[in-house]
Amino acid sequence: MKSNIQNLDGILDQSLKIAARVIAIVAFPALIIVGYRNIFLDFVPYHQLFLTICYGLFVFLGFGKIKSNQIRFYSLVSIFFALFIAAGLRNSSIIFVDVFLILACGLMAFKFTGLTVVISGIFATSLLLFLVPETFLPNGEIYSSIIGVHLSCLTLSFVLIFAIRNVVCLLYTSPSPRDATLSRMPSSA
């Protein structure tokens, strides 16, 4: 059985293409519902235009013919960071939109060092906190407890992302135990 997989970048690109297709298909009903809310109820057509452009990019990245692995990767990371900022501004909250930050940083973990990923996440979070005050958290002592739990969950997410990346890289670079020419066990000659 011959495999069409050439390298880890090829595996990542194929996975991102499939993920973009799934997002494009699953997000279509949500785009229609949010479109009604944004245009007819809340009167924010620019936000809807931004979401429609993001949706179109998911469709293009999932179904379009893209020759470069890098274009799909960096485009998806950029879209998730942009969705994190735009949805945070729209909802006046970081609590409800951090999934986009986790997705962007999770993708970055495949190609960047941990320090770069953490700095990017801190920068995006700081930018959003600078642009809009959090409106879904109560004042007082409970505020610090909620923030502490939330930061713990984000930290756990980043640890899991890096663990998954390391396992994938280890599995990809380890020789198959069935291949006698690449076996790690010494031969008994």
Burial call 100-111: b when 16+ CB within 10 Å, e when fewer: bbbbbbbbbbbb
pLDDT at 183 (0 to 100): 45
Share of the chain above pLDDT 70, in %: 75
pLDDT greater than 90 at residue 12: no
- At residue 140 the predicted structure's pLDDT band, cuts being 50, 70 and 90, is low
Read off the pLDDT of residues 104-131 as tens digits, 9 standing for 90 and up: 888 888 888 888 888 898 888 888 888 8
Please tell me the pTM assigned to this model. 0.74
Min mean pLDDT across 53-57, 121-125, 139-143, 156-160 is at 139-143
